[in-house]
Amino acid sequence: MSRSGAELYAGVVVEAPLSEIFHYRVPERLAGRIRPGDRAEIPFARRRTRGVVVSLSPVAPIDPALIKELLDISPEEERIPEDILELSRWVAAYYHCGWGMALAAAIPAGVKHGRRERLARRVELASDPDLIEAGAAELGRRAPKQAAALLELLAWFRGHPGAVLPADCPDLGKAASAEILRQLAKKGLIRLLDAEAAWEDPFPAGEGGEGSSAAAEPVLTAEQTAALAEMAPHVGNGEFRSFLLHGVTGSGKTEVYLRLIALALAAGKSALVLVPEISLTPQAASRFRRRFGEIAVLHSHLGDGERAEHWRRLRSGGVRVAVGARSAVFAPLRNLGVVVVDEEHERTYKQDNDPRYHARDVALMRARLAGALAVLGSATPSLESWVNADSGKHRLLRLTSRPGGARRPGVEVVDIRREWVETGRLALVSRRLERALAGCLERREQAIIFLNRRGFHTSVRCAACGEAVMCGNCDVAMTHHRRAGLLRCGCCGSERGVPESCPACGAASLRFFGAGTERAEDALAGLFPRARLLRMDSDSMRARGAHQSSLAAFARGEYDVLLGTQMVAKGLDFPNVTLVGVLMADAALELSDFRSAERTFQLVAQVIGRAGRAGKAGLAVVQAFQPGHPAVAAAAAQDYAAFVAGELSGRGRLGYPPGRRLARVVIQGGREEAARDAAEAAGRAVRAAMPGGCRLLGPAPCEIERLQGVFRRHMLLFAPDNRILAAWLAGADLRPGLDRGARLILDIDPVSML
């Protein structure tokens, strides 16, 4: 009990999926230094737990006799900055997820658990690899884990002579554990250098497209200059402004970001750059590092301790540039001046578990709270951002050409149906593409071949009863992987052998349908036996770091053809690639998702943009069953405006976003009746609360009705605007029926509709 009489009460949000604020008395010894944002230790349901102080008041909000005392607060350097606190509150309100849940997403685990770890920066072998190897044998008996790590390191250095290995390079797998590296360093087997070079570019200078001159600033093109001139006055003036930078692939958007960041730094401000995880390659990160020296690169392979260390450095202002994927939107940069969202249309910005936030939209709110400039960049902006630019919310800036005279690729479209008729066979590689590939290989240039389907064949179907072989857990046809000799579920990853006969009817008449990347690999190998093929998809790239090291090998010219799924469509800049082939541009159009045309357009347009980046003439051959489909035709013509105009009017007619706001409610349960009953009950509640001008679809089974053994139903709530949608959800009690074995997921602005 305080003797001075001046009581202080703290409102605390628990870092858990709870929306309530709990109140505690602040003990006198803490009263002088406690602030909102402090992380507090509190008694909670007879345990000690952690929460974040969100308010302080001299007035007890409830009967003071019922209020318990707060136990302790974390050191000041772990205090959540005020704007992050505010941002998390907005996330909670907008995504209906509870403030504690939003805070849990905003605070890295390593900070939550108070883990401290110095960043190990670079790894070097302490002496000759052979000597080290002898050391590893010695070590093997006493410390097998360290020995294994050491062998991995040795293998890496032998494969990359002369290269510098960042300690957090995902290539390292287990060896990346900071503790193991420290032990090895203590034994004098390796050296850990505390230089500026963590996550250094493993691409040899001059071959990764970016080359050794990356730090040098190119002379801006007229378009870049104009775009920068529009934005520059708004850097560091404390007022929120947002821009949509619509620039064709390779038009120099990144260079514009770099200049903006330089302006922000010069004005004493900091900068946040969001990129989709898939483009967060060392190649991309090093471009920022070379320009700005020490930056925080927040990728998904960081250990908790490393992430926490980045968090502290950003929070203290010691580091002022953060480049990262989705969750970096909460990076505690101080004095934020510029927020960049590159490839803003990417669906990976949407988190697919709670809190289901969209990092682009959170980034805009963050910039607004900080009075910073936000720039969303894309060659193929999302319709959402396009509409916002159209209505004046964002200012639209354009980059229509490539610097250095690099020409946009020529595009030829091949009608697969006609090819079929003319050749009498359904080939994966058309005659036109075959010819182009032959020429490309002859000139010793490289090609990228894109097919958005994994596996050998898409599915295995019974010719007698017509059934496809389905996953046992999911309502999905399994994919045949011939190399592995098995069927795999693309949703849950479960595997089974290829059955002799149809599991449904027993007939011995199973047939293989469709075409995936494995089959394309065989087709290409058959046509060009001497070409060096690299296949890249989530099956072949399962190993940690495989993605980066494969790209590096392709950049070094160790392969002629890079074949893959969407992994090959983005973020790559290889000057020697002069041919792009799209095997089946319309492969994803049948998906029952209202964004499938938009996604098809984006992917095809992006992959086409990979051809001919460095002044060499590029060619893209686009094969499609429906070459006339607006998404395919517009992508081939690289005509964004045409696609958007058609697509927007179609969406408007159907009452879909971006014209209307959408929320998706998924109800799932282990038993089918439980899921159905809960969905019906929730459906009645939602319908009863529906405001005028809104529309409800469902409840109905999801496209994937059973996923990992769980039955799923969903409904779609359409509202004219966000406020009405929020009021609708607030007025509907979604809980009835849920306690009986069903779970409810609320997804605002959903991206996945399956």
CB-based contacts of 734, cutoff 8 Å, min separation 6: 665, 682, 685, 686, 744, 746
The count of residues in the chain is 754
**Which spans of this chain sit near ligand ADP (rule: CB under 6 A)?**
209, 218-221, 224, 247, 249-255, 403-404, 573
Could you say which of 30, 302, 471, 732 contacts Zn ion (CB under 5 A)?
A: 471
Pairwise CA distance, residues 561 & 535, whole Å: 8
- The continuous run of DSSP H or E covering 33 comes out as none
Q: Counting contacts by CB under 5 A, is residue 474 touching Zn ion?
A: yes
The 10 Å Cβ neighbour count of residue 130 is: 9
**Partner whose binding site includes residue 273, from Zn ion, ligand ADP, none (CB under 5 to 8 Å by kind):** none
Q: How many CB atoms lie within 10 A of CB 619?
A: 21
Q: Name the binder of 255 from Zn ion, ligand ADP, none, CB < 5-8 A by kind.
A: ligand ADP
**Under rule CB under 5 A, how many of the chain's residues touch Zn ion?**
7
Using rule CB under 5 A, residue 538 touches Zn ion: no
d(CA 367, CA 359): 12
The answer to whether the CB of 657 falls within 8 A of the CB of 449 is no
Contact 554, 562 (CB under 8 A): yes
Q: Which does 251 bind (CB under 5 to 8 A by kind): Zn ion, ligand ADP, none?
A: ligand ADP
* For ligand ADP, the closer CB: 399 or 662: 399
Separation of alpha carbons 503 and 76, rounded Å:
62
Q: What token pair was written down for 68? A: 């318990």
Q: In angstroms, what is the minimal distance from the CB of 272 to ligand ADP?
A: 17
- DSSP strand pairing (270-274 vs 321-324): parallel
| Of 586, 710, 743, 732, nearest in space to 663 by CA | 732
Q: Which is nearer to ligand ADP, 252 or 332 (CB)?
A: 252
Q: Using the minimum distance from each CB to ligand ADP, give the nearer residue, 254 or 548.
A: 254
Q: Which is nearer to ligand ADP, 220 or 492 (CB)?
A: 220
Nearer to ligand ADP, 341 or 477 (CB): 341
**Could you tell me the smallest distance in angstroms from the CB atom of residue 287 to ligand ADP?**
8
Judged by CB, which is closer to ligand ADP: 258, or 477? 258
Residue with tokens 């790209």: 551
What is the rounded CA–CA span in Å between residue 492 and residue 709?
Answer: 9
For the bound state, the minimum distance from the C-beta of residue 404 to ligand ADP, rounded and expressed in Å, comes to 4
Q: Which does 474 bind (CB under 5 to 8 A by kind): ligand ADP, Zn ion, none?
A: Zn ion
The residue assigned the tokens 């032990």 is: 183
> Which tokens sit at 671?
């038993």
Question: Is residue 725 within a helix (H) or strand (E), and if so which, with residue range?
Answer: helix 722-731
How near is the Cβ of 210 to ligand ADP at its closest, in Å? 6
Select from Zn ion, ligand ADP, none the partner in contact with residue 220, using the beta carbon and a kind-dependent cut-off of 5 to 8 Å.
ligand ADP
Angstrom distance (rounded) from CA 431 to CA 640: 28
Binder of residue 218, out of ligand ADP, Zn ion, none (CB less than 5 to 8 A by kind)? ligand ADP
Q: Are strands 510-513 and 9-14 parallel, antiparallel or unpaired?
A: unpaired
Rg for the chain (alpha carbons), in Å?
28
Residue 532 CB, shortest distance to Zn ion, in Å, is: 34
The least CB distance from residue 673 to Zn ion, in Å, is 22
* First-to-final CA distance of the chain: 56
Q: Which residue has the tokens 């209906």?
A: 96
- Choose one: 146-154, 312-320, 401-409, 482-490; the region binding Zn ion (CB under 5 A): 482-490
Nearer CB in complex with ligand ADP: 610/713:
610
Residue 446 falls in which region: left (phi positive, over 0), alpha (psi -120 to 50) or beta: beta
Q: Which stretch binds Zn ion (CB under 5 A): 291-299, 472-480, 539-547, 568-576?
A: 472-480
**Residue 88 binding partner per list ligand ADP, Zn ion, none, with a CB distance cut-off of 5 to 8 Å that depends on partner kind:** none
Site for Zn ion in 484-503 (CB under 5 A): 489, 491-492, 494
Minimum gap (Å) between residue 352 Cβ and ligand ADP: 26
Nearer CB in complex with ligand ADP: 263/489: 263
Of ligand ADP, Zn ion, none, which one does residue 647 interact with (CB within 5 to 8 Å by kind)? Answer: none
- Partner whose binding site includes residue 546, from ligand ADP, Zn ion, none (CB under 5 to 8 Å by kind): none
518 contacts 456 by C-beta, under 8 angstroms: yes
- Order of all β-strands in the sheet with 321-324: 296-298, 321-324, 270-274, 336-341, 373-378, 241-247, 395-399
Q: Say which entry of ligand ADP, Zn ion, none residue 626 contacts (CB below 5 to 8 A, set by partner kind).
A: none
Least distance from C-beta 340 to ligand ADP, angstroms? 11
Q: Which residues of the chain form contacts with Zn ion (CB under 5 A)?
A: 471, 473-474, 489, 491-492, 494
